[in-house]
Amino acid sequence: MSDNSLSPSRLATYAACPRQYEYSYPQDINTPDRTELYLNQGKIYHETIEAVCDATVRGEDAEAIHARAMRIFDEKWDEHSNPDDYESVAHREYQRVENQAAIDAFFAPDGGDGIDHARRSVATECWVECDRDGRGLHGKADNVIRTDDGLHIIDYKRNTRGVISSGTAEYLADHLDGDAHEPKRVRNAFQTATYIEGVKNEPFYEDGMEVRFSFYGVLNSTSFESTPSGYNVSVRGYPRETTEIYEEYHETIWALIQAAHDGITSEMYDPEPFSVISEEACPDCEYREMCSDRLSTEVKR
């Protein structure tokens, strides 16, 4: 890995606000602790899916894969779920049931997407790297699946709300021009580019293979139903593929990567255009109470 190799996460933080990147990475400033609840839940379903895929062989019985998934989920929940993160015992139990329902649906023997993901997996937590014009990128792909035509990279998320789509990809150019602030969708574009190009350097990639990339919302849709004895939770997951977006907006995406990468490696941390960044990024920023750029606007009022 080259010395200037950067992850999509770092690039996206810079795209959100260069000053936020400076505080978070070069200065490594600590901010007040925040709940680990969703971080731990993400770890639970990520590690469950990874363990199931690693233990599954192609053609394995779907019922056996499902049983393995439910057993591993229980182990991961006990390992990573911290009672102190929850408002009450009931709150923790609801979250357990919800996440359990997600794994149950994902690895459902009668058509759950996870069965195919597990049977066709060629690598989980796969470290990938690529380089373009001296700008290195790296990342860790959750799962790489062998398809009939090539490879399909999957990034598992809680849900796909806000993930870039064919209807919102046009905003990438607005972000590049400074006319809009779209760091979340820009981050999705960075991830797509990094993983599609990075996986081409892996030993299981063969010339001419089709390479696809999707975000998969494991808990994309959740429904709750009260029953005489308690409640039932149903969960549905589904993917959001961004391969065609990468192909259509290829030049724009790489221009965004170049702008963020060069800004980071050149240590250029002035937030520009500040009028756009301050309106969109400052209200939720962890560093807003100490940021001289934001505070200077308060003094001028």
pLDDT in tens, 146-163: 999 999 999 999 999 999
Position 32 scores a pLDDT of 52
Percent of the chain topping pLDDT 70: 96
Mean pLDDT, range 241-267, rounded to an integer: 98
pLDDT exceeds cutoff 80 at 35: no
Percent of the chain topping pLDDT 90: 78
Instruction: Round the average pLDDT of the chain to a whole number and report it.
Output: 93
Query: Which residue in the block uniquely carries the two structure tokens 């290195």?
Result: 136
Q: What is the pLDDT of residues 100-147, one digit of tens each?
A: 999 999 999 999 999 999 999 999 999 999 999 999 999 999 999 999
The conformation of residue 83, written as its DSSP 8-state character, comes to: G
Buried b (16+ CB within 10 A) or exposed e, 248-270: ebeebbbebbebbbebbeeeebe
pLDDT class for 230, splitting at 50, 70, 90? Answer: confident
Query: Could you tell me the residue ranges of all domains in the chain?
Result: 8-300
Position 298 scores a pLDDT of 60
Q: Which of 20-29, 176-185, 221-230 has the weakest average pLDDT?
A: 221-230
pLDDT class for 2, splitting at 50, 70, 90? Answer: low
Residues 193, 246: contact at Cβ < 8 Å? Answer: yes
Distance of CA 177 to the CA centre of its chain: 25
pTM across the whole model = 0.92
- For residues 188 and 34, what is the distance between their CA atoms, to the nearest angstrom? 24
The conformation of residue 11, written as its DSSP 8-state character, comes to: H
Position 299 scores a pLDDT of 44
pLDDT exceeds cutoff 60 at 25: yes
pLDDT exceeds cutoff 70 at 33: no
Position 166 scores a pLDDT of 97
Coil, helix or strand for 221?
A: strand
Q: Where are the alpha helices (DSSP H) in 109-170?
A: 113-120
Position 87 scores a pLDDT of 83
Residues 242, 213: contact at Cβ < 8 Å? Answer: yes
DSSP E strand stretches across the chain: 121-132, 135-146, 150-157, 210-227, 230-241
Position 294 scores a pLDDT of 85
Residue 26: CB atoms within 10 A of its CB come to 11
Neighbour order of strands in the sheet with 230-241: 121-132, 135-146, 150-157, 210-227, 230-241
Residue 21: CB atoms within 10 A of its CB come to 22
